[in-house]
Structure 1
Amino acid sequence: MGVFSAPKIDFGKSSELKKGSEKWNLLRDEVFKALEEYGCFEALLDGEIPKVKLYEKLKEVFNFNLEKIFGNTQSVLVGYDRYKPKAPLQERLVIPNVLNDGVIENFSKNLWPDGESEFSDLVLTYSKKLSEFDDLVKRMVFEKLGLEKYLDEHKKSGDYLLAMIKYRAPKAGETNVGIPPHTDNIISTILSQHDQDGLQILDKNGQWLDVQFSTPNSYVFLVSDCLKAFTNGRLNCLIHRVIIGNEERYSVGFPLIPKEGYIIKVPEELVDENHPLLYKPFDGSKLLPFYMAEGRRGVSATLEDFCGVSTNNPNLS
C-alpha cells in the first residue's frame, strides 16, 4: 500500500495574513493548485485549536449510553447512529448547525443534565477556529477564480456540522472498512484524527493510498461534490474511504452542509470555449437524498448522474 503525498500547507499565524500581500498571494496560489490537482491538502494550523483536549473528551462521551440518550437515527446529518450495514464499525454523534446560538449548550445538556462546561467550550472553540479556516480557504479560492462577488452569497449557502466518530477494531472475519469508498455530497469538509491513521484516497491509477497526518496540528481540507460543481469542475473531488486497523480510531469531521433551497449554479465567468458547462443548477440539499435513494437500488451514483449536463434528472431544483 502506497502513501498519498498530500500537499502540506502551513497556515501558522494565518490571522496576520493581509490580503494582497506577497505571503497571501503565495499561500493562495498554493491552496488553489492543491485543490485543483488533488482536491485536498494537509493544513498545519496553530495550536490554538483544542484538538487534543477535544479528543480526550470524546473518549469520555463515547462511554455514555448514547443510544439511550439520543436514540438511533436513520439521518446522517443529525443525532446518533452506530454499526449500520455500510459502516458496521462506526459510531457517530452529530451536532447539526453547530455554530448557531445555544445549539452546543442544548446538546451538552443531553449528556450532562446537571451541567458541564468543558465539552461545550471545547466544541465551540474547535468549531469556530475551523470555520475561520474554512472561510480563509474559500476566500483564496474565490479570489483566484475571479469570483469574489459571489463570496457573500456562498457564505449563506450552508451550515456547519460537527461529526464526532469512533470506529471499533474489527473482529476476526469482519471487514476492516470503516467507511466505504465515496465522495462527500456536501460543499466541503475538514477532517482530523487521533492516534490511528486510516484515511485513504483512490489515485488516478485505481490504487488506494494512505493519507498520513504529519503532525498533531494537521487537518485535511477536502473539496466535496457541491464545490466541485460550483467551480464547473475546476476543483477536484477525491474518492476516499476509511480503513480500520487493530485498535479503535477516533476522528472529527467538520463539513459545510448545503441549506435546503439554495441553488448551486456555475458562475458564467467559469464557462467559455475551453471550459464548457458541466453541471446544471441544482438544490444542494437534494444531492444526498439522491445518492441514498440510488444506493438503496444498488446503484453507485455520481455527481454527473445527478446534475451533469447530459443527464435528465427531474429533481435538480
Structure 2
Amino acid sequence: MSSLTFTEQTQQIPIVNLSELDPSLPGGDQWEAARAAVAAALRLHGCFDAIYAPLSPELRDSLFCHAVSELLALPLEVKLRNSSDEPFQGYIGQIPNMPYESLRVDSAPSPSAVEEFTQLMWPQGNPTFRNAVIAFTRPLQDLMKIVHRMILESFGVESLYESFQSSISHGLRLSEYGVPFDKETKIAMVSHIDPNLMTIVCQHEVEGLEVKTADGDWIKVVPSPNSVTVMIGQAFQVHIVGKFDVLDRAWTNGRLRAPVHRVKMTGDEGRFSALYGSRPNYNSIVQTPEEFINEENPRLYRPYNYTEYMKFRYSDEGKGHKDPFISFCGIGQETTA
C-alpha cells in the first residue's frame, strides 16, 4: 500500500511507498493515493524518501561494495578521462579543503552509454562494473518516471509528459566523501540547491545528507536499505512555478520548491553515495508552461538556456550574485552578493 509518513515533531521528511507502481501503468486508487502523498511532500519540503522494492539491497551491494569502490580507487589520471565541456558534468574533485571525488556516467542505464564509460575507465573492459551500473539505474529510471508523471498530473498538465520525457537526459553520479577537514562544522558539502530537474539520492550506510526546512531547521536524512531520497531541482521550479519569496525562500501558493541541502558528516568514516539525476537536454530552453501564467501568477522566470545557465552559475560573474539563478532568469528579482 502507498503511504505518507510525516511527523513535524521529529523533523522527518515524508516517506512514500511506491513499490507496487509501474510508470507505464498510471491510474487507479493506489496510484492516486501515492500521487497525493508525493505532491504534499514536495510542496512542503521539495523532497521525500521513496520506498521502491525493485531497488533491492542486492543491487545496492553490487554497486557500492564493488563497482563504486573499484571506480574511485582508480589513479587520478584515469578518473580525469571523465571530462565534459559542461561545468560539473564529468569528474569533480581536487577541490581545496574538500575531501570529495565523483564521476558521472552519462545516459545510464543505456547499455551502450555505460559500456562507453566503462571502456573509458578500463580499456580492457570491466563487465562486472558495467552490469552493476545498468542493473542499479534501471529501477531508478522507472522511479523517476513515476515521480515526473505524478508531478505533472498533480498540476493538471499530464498532456506534457511525453514531450517532457523527450526533452531530458539522465545520468548517474558516483561519489565518495572523505572525513571533513573542518572538525568543527563537519561540513563535507556546503549548502546548495540543485540546478537540474530532479535527483534521486542513494546513501550507502553512512549518513550525511541534510535538508533545510522552510523554517530554517536542518533535517537529517538517515540512510535506509529500503529507500532513496527524491529531490526537486531549480529547473523543475520553472516548469511548475508559483509565487516565490526570494528573501525567505518559501513558496506561498502551493507550488513546488527546490530544497536547500548539504552533507554533514559527524563520524570518522568516509561515505559513498549515488545520485541519479534528470536535466534538460544540452542547449535546451526551460520555460514555464503557459497554463501556469495568469494575472494572479505572472511569469517569474524568463525562458532560459539550461547549458548557458550552468556556465553562468559557475563563472566568476555568476559567483558574484547571491542567487545566480534569479539573476540569470528571474524577472525583477536581481540579487547581488
Is contact 1:109-1:115 (8 Å) kept? yes
Please give the alpha-carbon distance, in whole angstroms, between the structure 1 residues aligned to 2:316 and 2:226. Answer: 37
Match of 1:178, SS?
Answer: strand
Choose from 83, 92, 109 the match for 1:81: 92
Tell me whether 1:229 sits opposite 2:238 in the alignment: yes
Amino acid at match of 2:173: A
8 A Cα contact 1:187 1:255, kept in partner:
yes
SS at match of 1:19: coil
1:252 aligns with 2:281: no
* 1:209 equivalent among 219, 223, 234: 219
For residues 113-163 of structure 1, the C-alpha deviation after alignment (integer angstroms, 9 at most, x for no partner) is: 333212111111222211111111111111121112211111122211111
Tell me the alpha carbon deviations over residues 247-302 of structure 1, each in whole angstroms, 9 at most, x when there is no partner. 10000111112212321221121123432322221112222222112576443324
Return the alpha-carbon distance in structure 2 between the equivalents of residues 162 and 4 of structure 1.
29
Q: Comparing 72-81 with 289-298, which one deviates more in the overlay?
A: 72-81
Contact 1:43 1:220 in 2 (8 A): yes
The equivalent of 1:45 in structure 2 is 52
Count of aligned positions: 310
For residues 202 and 13 of structure 1, the distance between their equivalents in structure 2, rounded to whole angstroms, comes to 30
Percent identity among equivalent residues?
25
Q: Which aligned pairs between 1:155-166 and structure 2 lie closer than 5 A?
A: 155-166=165-176
- Identify if the C-alpha distance between structure 1 residues 277 and 299 changes in structure 2 by more than 3 Å, giving closer, same or farther: closer
Greater mean deviation of Cα atoms: 179-188 or 284-293: 284-293
Kept after mapping to 1: 8 A contact 2:280/2:286: no
Structure 2 letter corresponding to 1:289: K
Contact persistence 1:73–1:81 (CA under 8 A):
no
Say yes or no: does 1:98 pair with 2:119.
no
Return the offset for 1:112: 3.2
Distance 1:228 1:53, change over 3 A: same
Find the aligned partners of 2:206 and 2:319 in 1 and give their Cα distance: 34
Once residues 297 and 77 of structure 1 are traced to their aligned partners in structure 2, the CA distance between those partners, rounded to angstroms, is: 15
Match of 1:177 in 2: 187
> Which residue of structure 2 lines up, in the alignment, with residue 110 of structure 1?
120
Q: Which runs of 5+ in 1 are unaligned?
A: none
**CA–CA distance in structure 1, aligned partners of residues 135 and 222 of structure 2:** 25
Give the structure 2 partner of residue 22 of structure 1. Answer: 29
What is the distance in 2 between the residues matched to 1:93 and 1:28? 32
Structure 2, unmatched stretches of 5+, are: 1-8, 243-254
TM-score, structure 1 as length reference: 0.88
Equivalences for residues 235-246 of structure 1 within 5 A: 235-245=256-266, 246=268
CA distance in 2, matches of 1:28, 1:160: 22
Aligned residue runs from structure 1 range 231-310, under 5 A = 231-233=240-242, 234-245=255-266, 246-294=268-316, 297-310=319-332
Q: 1:133 to 1:16 in 2, by over 3 A?
A: closer
Does the aligned pair in 1 maintain the 2:202–2:228 contact within 8 Å?
A: yes
| TM-align CA RMSD | 2.6
The 1-side partners of 2:299 and 2:38 are apart by: 24
Q: Structure 1 residues 297-306 or 160-169, which shifts more?
A: 297-306
Distance in 2 of aligned mates of 1:172 and 1:291: 26
CA 1:158/1:184 → structure 2, altered by over 3 Å: closer, same or farther?
Answer: same
Letter of the 2:22 counterpart:
S
Please give the TM-score of this superposition, normalised by the length of structure 2. Answer: 0.83
Q: Residues 3 and 212 of structure 1 are in contact (CA less than 8 Å); yes or no, is this contact kept in structure 2?
A: no
